[in-house]
Amino acid sequence: MITNIRQLIDYWSQTGKLMRIRKEVDPDFELGAVVNHLYGRQPMYFEKVKGYDVPMIAGFGGDRELMADSIGLSSGRELVPKLIESIVNPLPTNLVPTAPVHENVILEPDDLEELFPICRYHELDSGRYYVAGVLVVKDIAGNKRYTSIRRMQFLGGNRTNILITSPELNEQYNYYESRNEPMEVAVMFGVVPAVVLSSQVSTHLYHTDKFNIASALIGQPLDVVKCKTVDLEVLAEAEVVFEGRMLPHVREMEGPFGELAGYYGKQAPQPVIEISAVTFRNNPIWQTIHPSSHEELLPMAVVREATLLSTVRQVVPGVKDVVVTLNGAARCHAVIQIEKRREGDGKQALLAAFASDKDLKHVVVVNEDVNIWDPNDVEWAIATRVQADQDVFIVPGANGSPLEASHNLRGVSAKMGIDATYPLYAADKFKRKSIPWGPIHLEDYL
């Protein structure tokens, strides 16, 4: 079982899946441009980043098959069922007294910039950002560890901003702020894809300890260790950890920054973190996740697929599979595949989908003979099975995603459901043609 990034680097090196980047790259735009050239889908190991002696990785969780491979699954299709199982059956972690991540400890660092590269990503970004750190907090009762990823703009010295869009974490910060107390945080860099994936599971929905979800995904209790300057635990095998405090009643301007739906977000005052310690392994490996790349979008989509599948299943027992597409900003578009048992199953699946996630805008439901992983096949189903006056509905004026530009302009979002399933009473007219031969290996014919 692969529990840390070094094992994964070795495994993907041996299996030819890791791309080594030998040429020196500039942390200002160039590194990101190289990662983005392959959409953040390709695991890359940058040997030399200008101005630093630390190697850097990116693209480790941007491909569905590789993400599945990193947790020992043989196909990307197994990810969603495995995630649902891990949320339902989390695995407790193992507390250890000493840890590789404590091999080096810098207390009260005075210049974070000297330690690890802080990249610049988009032309109009307001500054340099940490974008891949997995934030760790405890719930207010102190029992559960919640992880998430929040971008942090470097403010100089030992200070960063933090952008928090989740109501849950904001409420927690407000609670401490109302008591005039800082909120303790830790931020982990250099972690395996399972840890990123579990960080995207909604706290609001499940209230499950996310380290335990990550352990269940990997299939082994992960080692955790107590932090040096805050009362939190972090993964013992993370490459680098920042420990710090979100200060009460302090805000500094943040943004604009290139957001995941492809536009720049606004400038606004955001809370500030003061870093109290940096700990890291010997010969640390630094990590980034390029904003809006597949590596950012995929874990968000997989988590949404798990919720969508569970919700639709409650009302349409024949649901087979779901996809939340990455080009729909990993939240606006979904395709649902059903084995239609009742005439109303298509519309019912669409209603369940919209009820399950306010960010969904356009959802298509298809029969089980359509490959929902192939957009061309979905288009074929829409072209040959939909009559818009009967099979499409639009609900105006509902809620939408704050990350979606056309919703933000209007403050509301319309929902469009497309039932691309054929009527059961005419099933014989919709039998797909097929060739009873194959699969073909063309090389056998040459």
Ligand X SMILES: Cc1cc2nc3c(=O)[nH]c(=O)nc-3n(C[C@H](O)[C@H](O)[C@H](O)COP(=O)(O)O)c2cc1C
Find, among 182, 165, 150, 186, the residue nearest to 278 by Cα.
Answer: 186
Binding mask 133-152 for ligand X (x = CB under 6 A): -------------x-xxxx-
User: Distance between CA atoms of 112 and 108, rounded to whole angstroms?
Assistant: 10
Q: Which is nearer to ligand X, 294 or 340 (CB)?
A: 294
Question: Of the listed pieces 157-165, 231-239, 269-277, 313-321, which binds ligand X according to CB under 6 A?
Answer: 157-165
The only residue of 36, 86, 198, 200 in contact with ligand X, by rule CB under 6 A: 200
What φ, ψ does residue 133 adopt, rounded to 5°? -70, 135
The neighbour count for residue 13, using CB atoms within 10 Å, is 14
Question: Closest approach of Cβ 309 to ligand X, in Å?
Answer: 18
Q: Is 164 among the residues that bind ligand X (CB under 6 A)?
A: yes
161 binds ligand X (CB under 6 A): no
For ligand X, the binding residues in 204-223 under the rule CB under 6 A are 204
Name the nearest CA neighbour of 36 among 401, 289, 306, 227.
289
CA 374/CA 331 separation, integer angstroms: 18
315 sits near ligand X (criterion: CB under 6 A): no
Q: Does 299 bind ligand X (CB under 6 A)?
A: yes
120 CB-near residues (< 8 Å, 6+ apart) = 27, 28, 29, 32, 127, 128, 129
Neighbours of 328 (CB within 10 A): 21
Count the residues of the shown chain that bind ligand X, applying the rule CB under 6 A: 21
Among 34, 68, 136, 169, binds ligand X (CB under 6 A): 169
Q: Which of 300, 323, 335, 372 is in the footprint of ligand X by CB under 6 A?
A: 300
163 forms part of the interface with ligand X (CB under 6 A): yes
Which one, 189 or 422, has the nearer CB to ligand X?
189
Using the rule CB under 6 A, is 168 a contact of ligand X?
yes
Is 165 an interacting residue with respect to ligand X (CB under 6 A)?
Answer: yes
The yes or no reply on residue 104 touching ligand X (CB under 6 A) is no
Furthest CA-CA distance within the chain: 75
Asked if 63 touches ligand X (CB under 6 A), the answer is no
**DSSP conformation letters of 6-35:** HHHHHHHHHTT-PEEE-S-B-TBTHHHHHH
**Nearest to ligand X of 167, 375 (CB atom):** 167
For the record, the structure tokens of 394 come out as 């639009």
**Which chain residues interact with ligand X by CB under 6 A?**
131, 146, 148-151, 163-166, 168-169, 199-200, 202-204, 289, 296, 299-300
